[in-house]
Each structure stands twice: as structure tokens, then as C-alpha cells.
């Protein structure tokens, strides 16, 4: 079932429960301290699903345990958004505003990558070659590079979230282009690792790791926990987005478990510099 259909189905369930409780949208909104527009958006499925808000809604209408379990399961499913691979690489004004808003509300960003150097740390040459290998057209590559430029500007901003990068050694050795491209990329990584709000750590092949993630992910963790975290993962064809406290917490726990096996930030810079020095010019 498509994400839009899931949201609409969830909205219908919420509306039925509210009406069954004999409450108007205005009354429920006042009780929960929300706007009536928020109630309307939830019931029409026209807003991102926040499981915590659904829980408050259900409590406000006095949902039975059976209804609560059923609707929350639907909400969890609707909160996991899968978008097409092609749409992920559009980059226009809307995407830029979304990124700016996400960064503004985020306290910490956790980025784990086992395959390649994470996008915010990539050089334009490395990024262009890597995106091209994914079968993207020139316009799509150019659009995504604009997005990565926004990412890198955010790294240099005077204020904003803290960035923690966790990179498997294999990702540093993956080479989408010639040796000089990879060498320049590794030097760029070391340079960005020195920024005040950036921490980069590498998991060496030589250590035992007490955690596991099958694919790379980026977790956005909001300030004060007012909103649930958002975690993004890329597959070959899709982008998977999950947004709940429970799932976000599990990704954070996995990240911290793997970090225990990683080199320190200082040792990481030395490690990457030494690796770069072994490469052919």
C-alpha cells in the first residue's frame, strides 16, 4: 500500500474514533493544546505521521486498548516512508527548504556509512563519479551535487547541529574513480574532520565490532526530543524514511555500539592520512 494511502487510512480511523467519542475537531484540538488545522491534517492524511501525536490523539478520544493497538500499528507503518530512487535525487527549492528546516530543528546528526565516503564529506569529483555509477542522468547528478553543496555549507556554519560520522574502513578504500581522486577525497575528509561541530571516526578492519547495520543510515535527532527522530536509508532503488522514537532509538543504540569499536577522532585523522599516503599519485 502506498504511503499516501496509508496516511489516508490512518486519518479515516482517527476521524471515526473522534466522532465516536462525540467530540468535534475544535473540541479535541483545544483539549490537546493543538490547532484545529492540525487535527484536520491528521484526519485527511495530508501531514507526516508522528506516532507520538497519534498516541495523544487516541488518548484524547478515549480509544479502547484494542483500537489503540490497531491504530498505532497502522501509524508505525505509515511513519516508515519509502520514496522512489529517482525522486530522491531531485533537488529544487522545496528540497532545499526541507533540508534547512530539518537542520534548524536538529541537535545531532548521526551518519554511518559502510560503503563509501558519506555525502557531506565528498569532494565534487568523487560525488559526481559515485552518482554517475548509480545510473543517474547528468541533470540528476547536477541537482544532487547542489544538495551536497548545501550540506557542506551547513558543516561550516557558525551554529547548527553536531555531526558524528562513523565510517567503515572499506568505505575509505572504495574507489569510484582514479587513485588521485581517492587521494584528494581522503585529504578532504581529514580537513572537514577538524571542523568544530564535526566528529569523524573510522572502524578499522582489525577490530571486533559489537554492533551491526546492514546499510548506511543518517539519523536526525531533534533538540529537546520535542519531535521524533528521522532516520534515512538508501537502497539501490529506494530511500526508506522512518520516524518514531522507538525506531530512532534503536538506530542510535546501534550507532553507539559500533562507535565503541571505532578509532578516536584524533587516531582517525592519522589513520586516513596514512592511508592516503599509500595511494599512487
For the chain, domains (ranges, CATH) are: 3-79 (1.10.260.40), 82-277 (3.30.870)
Dihedral of CA atoms 95, 189, 216, 197 in degrees, nearest 10, equals -70
pLDDT of residue 95: 62
Neighbours of 191 (CB within 10 A): 11
pLDDT in tens, 180-196: 999 999 999 999 999 99
Evaluate whether 168 touches 209 at the Cβ level (below 8 Å): no
pLDDT of residue 244: 73
Query: Do strands 162-168 and 106-113 pair parallel, antiparallel, or not at all (unpaired)?
Result: parallel
pLDDT of residue 118: 94
Query: How far is 193 from 207, CA to CA, in rounded Å?
Result: 22
Give the H/E segment covering residue 245. Answer: helix 245-259
The residue whose grid cell reads 599509500 is: 278
pLDDT of residue 157: 87
pLDDT in tens, 202-211: 999 999 888 8
Query: How far is 280 from 277, CA to CA, in rounded Å?
Result: 8
pLDDT of residue 91: 55
Query: How far is 151 from 154, CA to CA, in rounded Å?
Result: 5
pLDDT of residue 142: 84
- Which positions of the chain have pLDDT values less than 70? 1-4, 80-98, 225-226, 236-239, 281
pLDDT of residue 3: 65
pLDDT of residue 251: 92
Amino acid at each position: 500500500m502506498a504511503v499516501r494511502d496509508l496516511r489516508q487510512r490512518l486519518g479515516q480511523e482517527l476521524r471515526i474514533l473522534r466522532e465516536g467519542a462525540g467530540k468535534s475537531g475544535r473540541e479535541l484540538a483545544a483539549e490537546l493544546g493543538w490547532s484545529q488545522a492540525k487535527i484536520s491534517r491528521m484526519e485527511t492524511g495530508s501531514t507526516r505521521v508522528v506516532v507520538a501525536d497519534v498516541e495523544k490523539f487516541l488518548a484524547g478520544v478515549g480509544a479502547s486498548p484494542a483500537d489503540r493497538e490497531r491504530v498505532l500499528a497502522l501509524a508505525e507503518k505509515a511513519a516508515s516512508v519509502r520514496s522512489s530512487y529517482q525522486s530522491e535525487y531531485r533537488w529544487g527549492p522545496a528540497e532545499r527548504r526541507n533540508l534547512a528546516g530539518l537542520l534548524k530543528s536538529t541537535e545531532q546528526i548521526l551518519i554511518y556509512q559502510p560503503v563509501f565516503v558519506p555525502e557531506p564529506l565528498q569532494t565534487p569529483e568523487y560525488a559526481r563519479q559515485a552518482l554517475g555509477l548509480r545510473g543517474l542522468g547528468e541533470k540528476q547528478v547536477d541537482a544532487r551535487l547542489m544538495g551536497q553543496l548545501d550540506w557542506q555549507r551547513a558543516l561550516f556554519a557558525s551554529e547548527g547541529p553536531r555531526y558524528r560520522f562513523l565510517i567503515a574502513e572499506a568505505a575509505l578504500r572504495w574507489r569510484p574513480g582514479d587513485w588521485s581522486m581517492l587521494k584528494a577525497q581522503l585529504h578532504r575528509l581529514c580537513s572537514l574532520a577538524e571542523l568544530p561541530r564535526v566528529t569523524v571516526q573510522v572502524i578499522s578492519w582489525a577490530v571486533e565490532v559489537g554492533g551491526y547495520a546492514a546499510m548506511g543510515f543518517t539519523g536526525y535527532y531533534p533538540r529537546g526530543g520535542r519531535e521524533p527522530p528521522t532516520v534515512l536509508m538508501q537502497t539501490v532503488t529506494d530511500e526508506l524514511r522512518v520516524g518514531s522514537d522507538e525506531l530512532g532509538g534503536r538506530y542510535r543504540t546501534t550507532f553507539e555500539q559500533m562507535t565503541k569499536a571505532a578509532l578516536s577522532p584524533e587516531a582517525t585523522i592519522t589513520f586516513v592520512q596514512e592511508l592516503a599516503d599509500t595511494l599512487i599519485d
